Structure 1
């Protein structure tokens, strides 16, 4: 009888040990799961914070609180210092024919004068918008269609300038603040140009529809002035209503603008009125109401 009781007690102790081990194993598994979950949460938080900090320090275009103001006299001085030369001044090529991408002639066959071109025949499709600087040369045949819609393209020769990154940051900021129009393909493009190379031999080639200006070096004041003068509805592109010039982003601080188009008026420096009574009333805010510019050519459907 005593032997049976001792065996029973042993069995109970063994059962107790087994139950204790089971509970300890379950607790260990629970701790491991909690530790893994907490680790994942911590890693996610660190990743989010890191991304925010990275964005704050190096990434993303700046959102402008105020317009970038450019002085026209300083732009003229900057053009001279950068060795800029106006090759074509609002004189586009007459041929505006379109062709499908799969039937497109080579660029060398259709652009036989100033390279990169400022106008001329082009693909039926516009080039997708590249908000910052392109890593490789964009297709001249499709980007010419973007020019027709009011885009500005700044090409550069990487062998003559290392400002490609700076140029890309510049275009990205302006595109993010209203210059990129995804519907019409109007934007500010920056791209290297090595084949066949900038025909003038200079390092930088600014292009708008019917306008070609080449410079020996990159200068942001020069670039800003070119955009103000020729982007979208400020330029002469046949389908420029597809590239409306964004108000309050980039403008001259000392040049009169046309009340109807908001474009700079050539040679008209701003002057303070002599007497408030002599000025025309424009409303409570003092600004004339702009009207939409129209052209003889209606925007294409493509």
Structure 2
């Protein structure tokens, strides 16, 4: 074999090795794509199944809640007419207690005090005229009467605190002064929505929270996106362990007191 032939043979052998290596690389890439595609398909399938299971669980929960409303003495969620918003000055506060200001109570909208209350579960009475401002900010309110069973009130407060510490920080729970409509023991209130119950059930209250808390509810768009009020200042009042009752119900704020710094005028902006 001549030198030229040996060189040609070596070139051909080298080319054959290169082609074999390229073929192996193509097969490896193809296998990688197949495996990745299978993994992606499995992940998408698992996500779809998970979402469907979640929807099924939510549907079952809603159906369960609907079935036990009568048993718990609960009304359907009421959709009430929007009574507007706007702030009350000191003189208006002194002249208009909640029962004069809100013809249908617990109020789900309407004029209100220029400041609002801090998120919390309270053992003392909170002025409804301040709480309506919380409603405007996308809060859910929970009221209970003196006639409510003690163990139900305890469960109500504990569940509300769990939600506050979890995904739903815009919640306030406080006692209700007097009787609720239909002699109910519990009331769940959001902007333009309300539900009454004789007995507390965390599924019923939980569904109400999910449907009406913050961005999910019907509060004014410019207001319901405001961050939860978790500390005092900037318009937020911390009532502590004391009742918070404005004139003429109480004396926490003099009738001529204006809004604190940070209070909004119903449009999401500080007053001019």
Output the TM-score relative to the length of structure 1. 0.52
The whole-number CA distance in structure 2 between the counterparts of 1:234 and 1:107 is 27
- Structure 1 residue runs without a partner (length 5+): 1-66, 181-186, 245-296
Q: Distance in 2 between matches of 1:101 and 1:231?
A: 30
1:291 — aligned with what? none
Deviation at 1:149, TM superposition (A): 0.6
* Structure 1 counterpart SS, 2:148: coil
Q: Which has the higher helix share?
A: 2
8 Å Cα contact 2:181/2:196 also seen in 1: no
Question: Once the two structures are superposed, what CA deviation does each residue of 1:88-125 show, in whole Å capped at 9, x if it has no partner?
Answer: 315322x3121245751211110122x21111111010
CA 1:101/1:139 → structure 2, altered by over 3 Å: closer, same or farther?
Answer: farther
Q: Greater strand share, 1 or 2?
A: 1
Is the CA contact (8 Å cut-off) linking 1:75 and 1:221 kept in structure 2? yes
Map 1:94-113 onto structure 2 (within 5 A): 95-100=84-89, 103-104=92-93, 105-113=96-104
| Contact kept in structure 2, 1:230 and 1:236, CA below 8 Å | yes
- Change in Cα spacing, 1:189 to 1:206, as seen in structure 2 (3 Å) is same
Matched, 1:170 2:159: yes
Q: Does 1:116 align with 2:98?
A: no
- Structure possessing the higher relative contact order (Cα contacts under 8 Å, 6 or more residues apart): 2
Using the size of structure 2 for normalisation, the TM-score is: 0.58
Cα RMSD, aligned residues only:
2.3
Relative to structure 1, is the Cα distance of residues 243 and 207 closer, same or farther in structure 2, using a 3 angstrom cutoff? farther
Give, in angstroms, the shift of residue 150 of structure 1.
0.5
Paired with 1:159 and 1:231, the residues of 2 have a C-alpha distance of 27
Q: Which residue of 1 aligns with 2:177?
A: 194
SS of corresponding position for 1:168? helix
**Residue 233 (structure 1) aligns with:** 215
Alignment of 1:129-168 (within 5 A): 129-130=119-120, 133-162=121-150, 163-168=152-157
Structure 2 portions without partners, runs of 5+: 1-53, 229-265
Structure 1 runs of 4+ aligned residues shifted over 6 Å read none
Distance 1:142 1:91 in 2: 20
Q: More deviation in 102-111 or 218-227?
A: 102-111
